[in-house]
Amino acid sequence: MLRLRRSVCRSGCAGTTRQCRTWCQIPLLECPRRRQRLAATSHGANTGAVPGTAILSYFSASRRIIYYVLTLSNYRTPSRTLRVSIVLPVYNEAPRLAACLRAIAQQTCRPYEVIVVDNNSTDNTVQIANSFPFVRLLHEPRQGVVHARTTGFDAANGDIIGRIDGDTVLSADWVESVQYLFAETDVDAVTGKMLYRDIAWRELVGRIDLGFRRHFARVLGREVALQGANMALRRTAWQTVRPQLCTRGGIHEDFDLAIHLNRAGLNVRFDESLVAEIGYRQAGCGYGGFMKYVLQSPHTYAVHGLKSRRHMYKVVVFLAVMYPAITLLYRGYSMQDERFALRNFLTPQAARVNPADFVE
């Protein structure tokens, strides 16, 4: 609503702000001359002020009602009719799984189901999963994230299958964002923005990561990769490509899934509205293990004969050069204290098993 900043009517009449309050402050879609003529009519010398004001007030109220009705009619809300299943393949995720499941429990829109697929964990991952009543626990005896993922996706009953890792912490509106994306766009699979929560200078690391993801989304186009820690796809899309998927080790199973979705003519997309925090655990594998993991990205594209793999060597070179700084920021950061200290760097840490290699 417009507000007068002086004591006289804006239309130029002699009325005071109090006299003009009824209509001069109403945002009518009229030209200045029309407003001035109406002002002169309403604020005539001590006569006709009340009838003119009443008529104009009624007219303005009607215009406001129409405006708000049109505004609300254009406001789109996410379709809650789409059922979202969330699948977590896990192997020895006890230190991180509880935070992951708590984030799911705090979603603004409840998922249809949450499926945790244990892949022969030797710690208390299973006990933690069972402590959350909404979790449906499955077991996959064949070792490898590709097998655990397939078991979970096959068991999912939702219209949309969300896939995250055991250390993923979803944003509070993640499920709602998934529903909106798949209801309002023609997307068949989507991957989102990553934030890193277990590394120092995480804002800077996150901006660099987002810059690379935006670049790959632009140069790869339809061949953009999915990221297993933060992705979703239609169940019908999964059923379409499942028979063609690779089950070999040494490649990224989420990249392989995206490649086959693209070959089937389905729409794979990167969308920043899908936000999740993940860990940078690859940095704790040593330089050899880290680079082996990174090189599996272009290798996955290479085994499928895709020339677009050349774009991925940009990030390979960057990470190869920046590894000393990355591992320092990762190993020196304490999530308990939420700060960086050099003494943390000297503390022994268990290396993460490379999910692309640990496959039967």
Q: What angle do CA 336, 342, 347 make, to 5 degrees?
A: 65
Same domain, 94 and 227: yes
**What's the CA gap between 328 and 291, in Å, rounded?**
16
Residue 302 lies in a domain: no
Instruction: Assess whether 158 and 30 both reside in one domain.
Output: no
Residue length, the chain? 360
The reply to whether the predicted model has a pTM over 0.85 is: no
Report whether pLDDT(280) > 90: no
- Quick one: pLDDT at residue 308? 87
Q: Out of 280, 305, 323, pick the residue that ends a domain.
A: 280
Whether residues 40 and 163 fall in one domain: no
| pLDDT > 60? residue 287 | yes
CA distances from 90 to 93, 111, 165, 247, 328 (A): 6, 19, 7, 17, 27
Asked whether residue 174 falls in the same domain as residue 55, the answer is no
Q: Which amino acid is at 248?
A: R
Domain co-membership, 21 together with 118:
no
Query: Is 233 a domain residue?
Result: yes
Residue that is last in its domain, among 280, 304, 339: 280
Quick one: pLDDT at residue 271? 95
Assess contact for 279 and 229: CB atoms under 8 A. no
How many Å apart are CA 138 and CA 329, to the nearest integer?
36
Q: Which residue has the tokens 């299973």?
A: 126
pLDDT band at 326 (very low <50, low <70, confident <90, very high): confident
What total of structural domains would you count in the chain?
2
CA distances to 163, 258, 309, 315 from 83, in Å: 14, 22, 35, 36
Q: Where is the domain boundary, 222, 251, 280?
A: 280
Q: φ and ψ at 242, to 5 degrees?
A: -50, -45
Q: Which domain holds residue 88?
A: 84-280
Q: What is the DSSP string of 169-185?
A: EE-TTHHHHHHHHHHHS
- Split at pLDDT 50, 70, 90, the class of 347 is low
Q: Who wins on pLDDT, 1 or 187?
A: 187
Contact 92, 190 (CB under 8 A): no
pLDDT at 14 over 60: no
| Tokens describing residue 182 | 């798949």
We report the CATH number of the domain holding residue 216 as 3.90.550.10
